[in-house]
Amino acid sequence: MIPLPRGFRFAGVSCGIKSRANAKDVTLIISDQPCVAAGVYTTNQIVAAPVVISRSRTPSDRIRGIVVNSGNANACTGTRGHSDAIEMTRLAAQAVSHQTPLSDDQFVVMSTGVIGRFLPMEKVRDGIQRAAIALGSTESHFLDACDGIMTTDAFRKIAYRTAYCGMGEHTLVGMCKGAGMIGPKMATMLAIVVTDVPLEPLDAQRILQAAANRSFNCISVEGHMSTNDSLVLLAKTPSEEEPALNEMDQAIFAADLTELCIELAKKIPDDGEGATHLIEIRIQGSNNDADADAIARSIALSNLVKTAITGGDPNWGRIVSAAGYAGVPISPSRTALKINEIPIFDKGEPLPFDAKVVSQSIKSQKLTLIELQVGLGPGTAVHWTTDLNAEYVRFNSEYTT
């Protein structure tokens, strides 16, 4: 049973943007009261229209909801795409206005799917109207909303936590979609976290950015930074009855949010298109955390490392050499490597190890653990990525045609 924060309603419906019959492709998440929204977005210069709109509207404490479509990214679509993204928020505002009319700028918008095609706005209009009618606050409504943001995902990506902070027990629930075009920075395609924790908008933004840096910014599938990556947090607007969290409670909430984001983020490479391994890369001993991050990223993005893991091949020179071209200092003579906790390389020299044992340990489990010590300082980082196999290639050769 997924716990849901009070005051939010969810819907996911099918309107025919995706070609597969009855595939859900519009999601609506509504806050019954004006709420706080914070957002972290792609840093790609080629940025989709919905990102431009949402980025200009967050952080805020007067947001009423998020409208999402999947199956079409509304990216590289020029001025018409920009109008269409605004129109989506206008349609959402109209569809859920009852007593008081809502304004389009009280909505955040997200799109995901193929780049460079105009949105079929008649279908989108129909979808948003039907989503507004379908809104509800049960687990099944939440799952429909998860389905509406998915593209090539093989499974739903959901995580939740209870946070003990402020006036008592609070709920955090998150969904994300991933699969392809993930990483190297801000690797989510789309992620939404909803909580009933009361936060000031700027605190929400700061805490969300920090959580993203430890989670969605530490994953990759193939290192292609998307035009549409968006992570949005909805939280309660503080009130007299329920004031904003104080600093200590914010720290508790931040820890819970970071954990939740890591749990969500890891599901993305775990579901990398056709991936058979989730690879966890732990770097220690660089001059600082940013350097460790660069080394982890260089290893995570190496097709040669990824294909070696696919084949259960302890071809560890590929790992060490990827660290060597990361563009930050390492100490080759103090570098040490373990694969699945088996020491492979130390002080610049290969260690005697049983290649069959290492190979078997890679082949027999979904997770492969790479631990690299680079011998300089206190810097650490953890990244997660997928292996690379023929299924990924087949999949991505055939995506649009």
Instruction: By CB under 8 A, tell whether 19 contacts a copy of itself.
Output: no
- How far is Cα 167 from Cα 197, in angstroms, rounded to an integer? 9
SS3 (DSSP) at 335: coil
Q: Which of 76, 121, 255, 382 binds a copy of itself (CB under 8 A)?
A: 76
Amino acid at 381: A
Among residues 180, 238, 285, 375, the one that binds a copy of itself under rule CB under 8 A:
180
Q: In the complex, what is the shortest distance from the CB of residue 269 to a copy of itself, in angstroms, rounded to a whole number?
A: 14
Nearer to a copy of itself, 43 or 97 (CB): 43
Stretch that binds a copy of itself, among 88-96, 108-116, 138-146, 282-290 (CB under 8 A): 108-116
Does residue 398 bind a copy of itself (CB under 8 A)?
yes
Where in 44-73 is the site for a copy of itself (CB under 8 A)? 44-47, 73
Alpha-carbon torsion, ordered 158, 115, 64, 199, to 10 deg:
60
- The footprint of a copy of itself on this chain (CB under 8 A) covers a number of residues equal to 72
How far apart are the C-alpha atoms of 28 and 135, rounded to whole Å?
Answer: 8
Q: How far is the CB of 74 from a copy of itself (least distance, A)?
A: 11
Pairing of strands 26-41, 60-72: antiparallel
Closer residue to a copy of itself (CB): 22 or 400: 400
Stretches 77-85, 86-94, 104-112, 200-208: which one binds a copy of itself (CB under 8 A)?
77-85
Give 122's contacts (C-beta < 8 A, 6+ positions apart). none
Which is the catalytic residue, given 188, 237, 335, 368?
Answer: 188
Distance CA 193, CA 184 (A): 21
Q: What is the DSSP string of 90-157?
A: HHHHHHH-SSSPP-GGGEEEEEEEESS----HHHHHHHHHHHHHH-B-SHHHHHHHHHHH-SS-SS-E
Return d(Cα 39, Cα 199) in angstroms, integer: 14
- Name the minimum Å distance from CB 163 to a copy of itself: 34
Candidates 209, 287, 321, 380; binder of a copy of itself (CB under 8 A) is 321
For residue 385, indicate whether it is catalytic: no
**Residue 390 is a binding residue for a copy of itself (CB under 8 A):** yes
Question: What's the rounded Cα separation, in Å, for the pair 66 and 46?
Answer: 22
Closer residue to a copy of itself, CB minimum distance, 199 or 374 = 374
349 binds a copy of itself (CB under 8 A): yes
Contact present, 370 and 299 (Cβ < 8 Å): yes
Q: List residues bridging with 43 in a β-sheet.
A: none
Using CB under 8 A, which of 55, 117, 206, 334 touches a copy of itself?
A: 117
Name 165's Cβ contacts closer than 8 Å, sequence gap at least 6. 197, 245, 249, 250, 252, 253, 256
Q: Which is nearer to a copy of itself, 27 or 227 (CB)?
A: 227
CA–CA separation, 103 and 342 (whole Å)? 59
Task: Retrieve residue 376's tokens.
Answer: 């300089």
Nearest distance from residue 124's CB to a copy of itself, in Å? 18
Cα radius of gyration (the chain): 22
Q: Which span sits near a copy of itself by CB under 8 A: 15-23, 97-105, 111-119, 249-257?
A: 111-119
Nearer to a copy of itself, 67 or 75 (CB): 75
The tokens of 309 are what? 């893991």
- The Cα 294–Cα 192 span in angstroms is 27
Q: How far is the CB of 91 from a copy of itself (least distance, A)?
A: 23
Which of residues 329, 354, 357, 367 is near a copy of itself by CB under 8 A?
A: 329
Binding mask of the shown chain, residues 79 to 98, with x at each position contacting a copy of itself by CB under 8 A: xx------------------
CB of 292 to a copy of itself, least distance (A): 15
CB 52 within 8 A of CB 82: yes
Is residue 323 at the binding interface for a copy of itself, with CB under 8 A as the rule? yes
**335 belongs to the binding site for a copy of itself (CB under 8 A):** yes
Answer yes or no whether residue 99 interacts with a copy of itself by CB under 8 A. Answer: no
Please give the residues from 294 up to 313 whose contact with a copy of itself meets the rule CB under 8 A.
Answer: 301-305, 307-308, 310-313
**Closer by beta carbon to a copy of itself, 26 or else 374:** 374
Structure tokens at 164: 């003990």
Subset of 216-255 contacting a copy of itself (CB under 8 A):
222-227
Q: Which residues are known catalytic residues? A: 188
